[in-house]
Structure 1
Amino acid sequence: MTVHHRVAPETVSRILLVEDDGEIAAMVIEMLRENGLEAVAVGSAANMDAAMRKQSFDLVVLDAMLPGEDGFSICRRLRASSTIPIVMLTALGDEINRIVGIELGADDYVTKPFHPRELMARIKSLLRRASYGADQPLRQTPMRFAGWQIDPILRQLINPEGVHVSMTTAEFDILLALCQNPGRVMTREQLLRLTHAGLAGSVERSIDVHISRVRQKIEQNVREPSFIKTVRLGGYMFTPEVESC
């Protein structure tokens, strides 16, 4: 299934909520609409697929525990064909499930019971980051490193063979932050501040999982990475020379 992902900041953002609990769905939909967003709620994977065939969405709020195909499977399937931001919503509160959700491509993870304002803040943050980097005023020109090209405006990563590489919102933001600070040791807290990538769980574990996923996409040898070096007791450092295109 091809997932249509709108990223036009000048339009009202449209949110798809996949949640089978009617009370929670009604509460979230009301909150989204009160904040000026368009919102559609469905209760299963099949209904989600049908909704996405009819219209495009800017973000998906996805419950992990659904009848039939569960949220983790849906997340993996969505991420295979789209960079649409995904917020996992679940009653499972342990660290392993948070990490699994991120590893499958979720951009953020909210545990039930949750405060509506917290969920709204995370949704707004992801929408800002997905809007062609509009909230990143510095270094908007494309950059090149070791044959790769990253474009902050179009939010595209192109490998040395000229092929577009699919990335989640958080993965792209982390790589962009590293490219904007080559040769500098970036702590996990700094990366969190620049990208909000640690919202889904503990700062250290969330950043580390995203870094691992970025390495899988750009490093020749993930076990001995040459682009993103781990600095013991420090954080991470981006080693290639970065130049503006």
Structure 2
Amino acid sequence: MPNLSDPDLPARILVVEDDAGMRTLILRALQGGGFRARGVASGEEMWTALEAAPVDLIILDIMLPGVSGVELCRAIRSGRGAVHSGEPSPAELPIIMVSARGEERDRVTGLETGADDYVPKPFGQRELLARVRAVLRRGGAASAEKIRREKIRFAGWTLDLRRRELTDPSGASVEISGAEHDLLNSFLDNPQRVIARDRLLELSRTRLGDVSDRSIDVLVSRLRRKLGSDADQLIRTVRGSGYIFVAEVERL
């Protein structure tokens, strides 16, 4: 959720990369693209940096010394970390994972852990900047939703668009990532309709990989887990076509 403290300033990005040369290249690309970027070499340094100052996005290498990027992503999504005044919780921080391991199973692992995007090495500077901007746009999508009703109710659940907060039928808050929020919002905008996988990627503005891989299926699976035991009845798979959201939707 970009720069709640001052939306007129460039987004703040933390790069977690143990290879000094690669870290420098990423930082130069980000700074050249107009972002405020700083880098650290390990998970321990990442936590220290997050406690020192808030960020708007984390670029996280998978193969780190000590605690891996996958475990760090899981810890962030669990809500660990400092919460700065006026900033989103750590669980909501956009995360882009990078790794020299570009096989599908590695992308799936990163996405299942809660990453918003995955970029295999080697990658070009233009691609990296495009993906960063796309993820930040998703995080800042609430500003484009102000003209719409702020809350949506379905099957006892409530999605607060302004706060980007999901609450279950008991009223308890359920943490969801930016990509999960956008996907759920896409379903709520198109209830009772079969939506193809490529169309879901377009509607939710995600950049999670080619639709021929399991990226959108992984994201749907993540969202279903957040929606609990009745999720398969809310989001149904239409074999060979895509998905359909079957619950009644009410805008408040």
* Same-fold call, TM cutoff 0.5: yes
Cα deviation, residue 221, structure 1: 4.2
Please give the secondary structure, in 2, of the residue aligned with 1:20.
Answer: coil
User: How does the TM-score come out when normalised to structure 2?
Assistant: 0.89
- Given that 2:197 and 2:211 are in contact with CA atoms closer than 8 Å, whether structure 1 keeps it comes out as no
Counterpart selection for 2:78 from 77, 80, 89: 80
Counterpart selection for 2:246 from 216, 220, 239: 239
Cα deviation, residue 157, structure 1: 0.8
Cα deviation, residue 89, structure 1: 0.6
Please give the secondary structure, in 1, of the residue aligned with 2:45.
Answer: helix
- How far apart in 1 are the matches of 2:212 and 2:165? 25
Cα deviation, residue 204, structure 1: 4.8
Question: What residue number does 2:174 align with?
Answer: 165
- How far apart in 2 are the matches of 1:136 and 1:226? 27
Moved more, 151-160 or 80-89: 151-160
Cα deviation, residue 218, structure 1: 1.0
Question: What residue number does 1:156 align with?
Answer: 165
Question: What residue number does 1:130 align with?
Answer: 139
AA paired with 1:56?
P
Question: What residue number does 1:66 align with?
Answer: 64
- Given that 1:129 and 1:169 are in contact with CA atoms closer than 8 Å, whether structure 2 keeps it comes out as yes
Cα deviation, residue 134, structure 1: 2.8
- Given that 1:183 and 1:239 are in contact with CA atoms closer than 8 Å, whether structure 2 keeps it comes out as yes
Count of equivalent residues: 239
AA paired with 1:68?
G
AA paired with 1:156?
E
- How far apart in 2 are the matches of 1:135 and 1:121? 20
Identity of paired residues, percent? 41
User: How does the TM-score come out when normalised to structure 1?
Assistant: 0.92
- Given that 2:16 and 2:39 are in contact with CA atoms closer than 8 Å, whether structure 1 keeps it comes out as yes
- Given that 2:3 and 2:12 are in contact with CA atoms closer than 8 Å, whether structure 1 keeps it comes out as no
Cα deviation, residue 131, structure 1: 1.4
Evaluate the alpha carbon distance shift between residue 209 and residue 95 of structure 1 in structure 2; reply closer, same or farther with a 3 A threshold: same
Listed as ranges, the matches of 1:1-245 within 5 Å are: 7-8=3-4, 9-81=7-79, 82-135=91-144, 139-221=148-230, 225-245=232-252
Q: CA RMSD in A?
A: 1.8
Deviations 1:40-93 (A, max 9, x none): 100011111111110001100000111111111111111111110110010001
Cα deviation, residue 195, structure 1: 1.7
Cα deviation, residue 11, structure 1: 3.5
- Given that 1:189 and 1:203 are in contact with CA atoms closer than 8 Å, whether structure 2 keeps it comes out as no
Cα deviation, residue 161, structure 1: 1.1
- How far apart in 2 are the matches of 1:153 and 1:137? 7
Question: What residue number does 2:84 align with?
Answer: none
